Chains A and B, each alone.
Chain A
Amino acid sequence: MQNSIFSTLFSMRFLITAIRLATPIVFAAIGTFIAASSGIGNIAIESIMTFAALAGVLGSYLSGSAWVGVLTGIAIGIVTVMLIAFFSMKMGANAMLIMIALNTFADSVAIFVMFLMTGEKGTTASLTTPILSTLDIPIIKDIPILGEIVSGQYVLTYICWLIVILLFIFIYKTPTGMRMRACGLNADAARTAGINVERLQVLSLILSGIFAALGGVYLSLNYLKIFSRGMVSGQGWMGVAANGIAAGNYWLLILAALIFAVFRAVSISFSSNSAFPTDLVNAIPYFAVFVILTVVSIVNYYRVKRGKVEEH
């Protein structure tokens, strides 16, 4: 049995699974990161993913095009963050409370809407929905090993990694990106330099909503091909956790998201093995988040104690 576990963990399949599982977590992580870089803690990622996952399926079903589904999901993501921006920035409500409220009722609202549309409360399996496919990359797909990993992934996975690179360039190389970071690091300094802080924060929130929505539609239109209740199951929170670990370091953020994905892959590989209790195996990725966050906090605590912390 042990042999079989190791052979699973070090197989090509496992690696491919991990890459597939990484996509929504990376989307969630960059969504949190971009909002945080302008000084906004967006903890509504989980709910935006849920809304967008359902909206994606419905948009795809109603229009007959998976890409329209993706756009519907993005639109819902933008609407959600604009609601947050409206209530917190315009009406003066506490942004954290708004986001907690969104997270609390996201699942129920999704199920309610699903019931209205399909008459079912579990999944949208009864709808015939056009979905996105995988992509074979010519030439690369024929290279052994590399071809197997790089080629044949889901379309949105490629888009995800493209965005990861473009976002890095945006945040660190362009004037708008630099101004956004300035808002997050010292809003008063940004303001006195003549920067419209609120406008940039809204922009970063919109980007955040788009990325989270892409994570959601990836789950429902690319990975699972249906919407089912509870399908986001903490992947948005893993993105938020990755952002916490990264502490402003972009590539550490991506690494943290990948590590969480690997633990999800472990959990899935083990759950096919009946020797372990399923509930325990399902808990592995969440337990990993817990352990990693704890370790990072302890390390940071001692860095502060030893006085090795820099001013931001």
Chain B
Amino acid sequence: MSETILKLDNVTKVYPNGTVANRDINMEFEKGEIHSIVGENGAGKSTLMKVIFGIERPSSGSVTYKGEETNFSSSMDAIKAGIGMVHQHFMLIPSFSIVDNIILGDEPTSGIFIDKKEAARRCQELSDKYNFELDVNAKVSTLSVAKRQKVEILKTLYRNAELIILDEPTSVLTPQETDKLFDQLRSFKEQGHTILFISHKLEEVKKISDKISVIRNGVSKGTYLNEDLSMQQLTNLIIGRDLDSDMNAYKTHEDFHNEKALVIKDLYMERNGKPVLDHMSFAVKNGEILGIAGVEGNGQQELVRCITGLEETAYTGDIEICGNRVNELNIKGRRDLGMAYIPEDRMGDGIAGSLPISDNLISTYYDRDDINNKVFMNSKAIKETAENLVKTFAVKTKTIDAAVNSLSGGNIQKVVVAREYNTNSKFMIAEQPTHGIDIGSEEFVHHKLIEMRNAGAGILLVSANLNEVMSLSDRIIVMFDGQIAGYFPNAKDVSESELGMYMLGAKHQTPQEIGGALND
């Protein structure tokens, strides 16, 4: 033990546009340890990983791997040296088999041909050795997210990686799957692999790490032994101040006379001959947050697409928004009835990236009378609206004329939330509203959602982040396999592991219990 495998000396990375992403970072990683790197979005974690993995070159300073200064010109060099990376967004080809995905770029051959038999044998051997329980001939498109992640890890092991970087690996996993992943990481550690673990979720970091390094604003805030650090200290190191964790404290309790913002009755939809939404019924009342928990890919996306009007596949059942049946209405028609929507795909659906912040702040209600003079847009009113919103939502920008994609992820999300907030809608769908943004922005978004709830809006919260669902929701639904697997009328009374059982399909409530989702 205590043999240094990777050492960063005064690593500084300045991008051509002058942004300093990393400043004089010194870190040391020992062989066979699980070492977490934590920090807010834009703190410089990903840049640092890119430097280690050979995607970016440091502007100054040096990276020493196994006693030799590295001079990687691409990630290929890093892979050859024995560094592997599991990216947050999987780098897999769905129509290829597991084997093909693993061997891609390093294929065993016989003559000029790929030796498929040898490839399958090696991959299966590797999968069995680490208890991954994969049939390596299966197509990746048929796999669950957790299994796809295993394929990604196998890719690095196939290339004999000794140092494995995992970028936000738990963001798509259930608690149970996360536990399993952690067991596996510990077994890698025992076999001498070094794990570099990047995460937003501090509980998990505390659970798995031997050491924790904190980065804030591109500067290293030190490396600590896990046991020497309390949660509170860790949080303070990351954001430099204390956080509110109890969102319930902000909730007020007014009665909105059981008005329903959304009613879903017997919603059913098929894909590839298989039901993806299997007779779902539930309602969102005004003045409440209904949380939908579930592992990604259990129908949440399709459900949201049906409600917003994005879905093109035929479905049956009724959708009512603010008391009106909307099945036949398009997206605009539904918005006019009082629907607001924070989409999961922020960059693709949430904003028009190259347009200014101001335009993005009004794009879903551009035809409202106060910013539109029938023929021309009222540029003065737009400017006023945008400036107000930027101020109230603390969007970090010099001017509202800047292209919105020049902002950081957290600030872009604030723009999206600000716009949807400003529609004054009675019904809001918040789909992964804080996915991949820093805890400061996350807290802000949470407060705004609760503010809307307190003002009488019904909010449907769809999130893979269990903590978020549990801390914000009044009632919780768990989706599994296109069905409501569990319904919890009182979010405060349910534990994380209980929800996890339903998310994985280990438990399923009776129709009577689930019926409350619609009728309560």
The number of chain B residues with a CB under 8 A from chain A is 35
One digit per residue, 1 when the CB lies within 8 angstroms of any chain B CB and 0 when it does not, for chain A 150-180 equals: 0000000000000000000000011100110
A-B contact pairs, 18 of them (CB 8 A): A179-B104, A182-B93, A185-B93, A185-B95, A186-B92, A191-B75, A193-B105, A193-B106, A194-B76, A194-B106, A195-B104, A195-B105, A307-B270, A307-B271, A307-B272, A307-B276, A310-B95, A312-B95
Among B79, B155, B312, the residue within 8 A (CB) of A304 is B312
Instruction: Say yes or no: B104 contacts A182, CB within 8 Å.
Output: yes
List, in ascending order, chain B residues with CB within 8 A of A310's CB: 95, 141, 272
Instruction: Say yes or no: B313 contacts A306, CB within 8 Å.
Output: yes
B278 at the interface (CB under 8 A from A): no
How long is the Cα–Cα vector from A310 to B114 in the complex, in angstroms? 26
A279 at the interface (CB under 8 A from B): no
Instruction: Say yes or no: A305 contacts B114, CB within 8 Å.
Output: no
How long is the Cα–Cα vector from A50 to B95 in the complex, in angstroms? 36
B310 at the interface (CB under 8 A from A): no
List, in ascending order, chain B residues with CB within 8 A of A178's CB: 100, 104, 107, 114
B112 at the interface (CB under 8 A from A): yes
B120 at the interface (CB under 8 A from A): no
Instruction: Say yes or no: B96 contacts A306, CB within 8 Å.
Output: no
B67 at the interface (CB under 8 A from A): no
List, in ascending order, chain A residues with CB within 8 A of B101's CB: 189
B467 at the interface (CB under 8 A from A): no
How long is the Cα–Cα vector from A262 to B96 in the complex, in angstroms? 34
Contact residues of B: prevailing secondary structure: loop
One digit per residue, 1 when the CB lies within 8 angstroms of any chain A CB and 0 when it does not, for chain B 48-88 equals: 00000000000000000000000000111001100001010
List, in ascending order, chain A residues with CB within 8 A of B113's CB: 173-174
Instruction: Say yes or no: A175 contacts B91, CB within 8 Å.
Output: no
How long is the Cα–Cα vector from A280 to B100 in the complex, in angstroms? 50
One digit per residue, 1 when the CB lies within 8 angstroms of any chain A CB and 0 when it does not, for chain B 93-119 equals: 111100011001111010011100000
How long is the Cα–Cα vector from A191 to B114 in the complex, in angstroms? 20
A15 at the interface (CB under 8 A from B): no
How long is the Cα–Cα vector from A12 to B68 in the complex, in angstroms? 73
Residues of A whose CB lies within 8 Å of any CB of B are: 173-175, 178-179, 182, 185-186, 188-195, 304-308, 310-312
Contact residues of A: prevailing secondary structure: helix
Instruction: Say yes or no: A173 contacts B87, CB within 8 Å.
Output: no
Q: How far is the CB of B116 from chain A (nearest CB, A)?
A: 9
Instruction: Say yes or no: A192 contacts B91, CB within 8 Å.
Output: yes
List, in ascending order, chain A residues with CB within 8 A of B155's CB: 193
Q: How far is the CB of A305 from chain B (nearest CB, A)?
A: 6
List, in ascending order, chain B residues with CB within 8 A of A189's CB: 90-93, 101, 104
How long is the Cα–Cα vector from A188 to B93 in the complex, in angstroms? 10
Instruction: Say yes or no: A188 contacts B105, CB within 8 Å.
Output: no
Closest to A248 in B: B95
How long is the Cα–Cα vector from A304 to B92 in the complex, in angstroms? 23
Closest to A188 in B: B91
Instruction: Say yes or no: B272 contacts A308, CB within 8 Å.
Output: yes
List, in ascending order, chain A residues with CB within 8 A of B506's CB: none
List, in ascending order, chain A residues with CB within 8 A of B107's CB: 175, 178
Among A174, A192, A311, the residue within 8 A (CB) of B141 is A311
How long is the Cα–Cα vector from A311 to B96 in the complex, in angstroms? 11
